[in-house]
Amino acid sequence: MMKSKWQWLLPKYWGVLLFVGFGRLFVCLPFSWQLKFGRLLGRLSYPFLKRRKHITMTNLRVAFPEKSQQELQALCKKCFESIAISGIEMMIAWFMPKRRFAKIKMDTHGMENFENAHNDPNTAALMLGCHFTCMEVIGRYIGEHYKPFYLVYQKHKSVAFEHVMTGARQAYVTQCLQRKNVVSIVKALKRKSSVWYAPDQDFGRERSIFVPFFGTNCATLVATSWLADKTGAKVIPCYYVRKDDLSGYDIFVLPALENFPSGDDYQDARRYHEFLEAAIKQHPDQYLWQHRRYKTRPSGEGTIY
């Protein structure tokens, strides 16, 4: 937490200040130009990001063993275009004026599945998301249209960037809840509020079990089942992608999961992975493959990366 505005004058914060200043100016450009610039940036940076390229290619080999090396390399390049566009979308979500943001094309599919739970005063809605690269701009759209709406996130290591990030997000969501602050998440759901949560990352062995993801075991959080059990929240899967022509976005919301939690954490996690795999197969380049999803291994297994 930044204790004083004068702290921003310290040299160690100048980089964040430049980012904010650049972002506020950049979002004044036409929307289509911004996303095309992001795609170009991804193409230009691809040859230089060797470590991230290695992680991405490893993930893609695990997920799509039927693809040739040439196909995987082409997909990897598109993944880097997508992640670069997501950096632009982050600035759009945080800095674009509301009037201009409202003009971005958002097509929703099945949003009534969320609205029914969100508008029911006796029901909490746990919006079960995932790390598709356009999630930042989608978070703003949902946060602006549905109140109260809480966002579960991972705290950033940089104090200055954390301050900017949470300040920007809390302009359109009710509150950002840190992933480790389980009490706050439970309280929000018990107030019958709506909470966005994406458990599809490797946070180690703590509160995790090993469940297949594209046929290979990975550490998977059991918190989704636990939260639903403790709060009675309806668990509503969703995913979101940018349109191929970069003209806007599609948001897909599925019906609330029935018999969830089932009492079997493994089967509950498998259901989530089945939904996620189906979504990724339709838009494989837009998933966050740059994350080491298979980092934590079962006992006796060597590293994948």
Q: How large is the average pLDDT for residues 1-30?
A: 81
Nearest to residue 235, comparing CAs of 195, 188, 266?
195
Q: Answer yes or no: is pLDDT of 157 > 60.
A: yes
Q: Answer yes or no: is pLDDT of 3 > 80.
A: no
Q: Answer yes or no: is pLDDT of 41 > 90.
A: yes
Buried b (16+ CB within 10 A) or exposed e, 80-111: bbbbbbbebbbbbbbbbeeeebeebebebeeb
Q: What is the predicted pLDDT for the residue at 159?
A: 87
Q: What is the predicted pLDDT for the residue at 135?
A: 97
| Mean pLDDT over each residue of the chain, to the nearest integer | 94
Tokens of 257: 């999961």
Q: Answer yes or no: is pLDDT of 85 > 60.
A: yes
Q: Answer yes or no: is pLDDT of 6 > 80.
A: no
pTM of the model: 0.93
Distance CA 258, CA 144 (A): 28
Q: How large is the average pLDDT for residues 190-197?
A: 96
Tokens of 83: 């992640």
Residue 94 belongs to what H/E stretch?
Answer: helix 69-95
The strand order across the sheet containing 248-253 reads 105-109, 248-253, 234-242, 125-128, 194-197, 149-153, 175-178
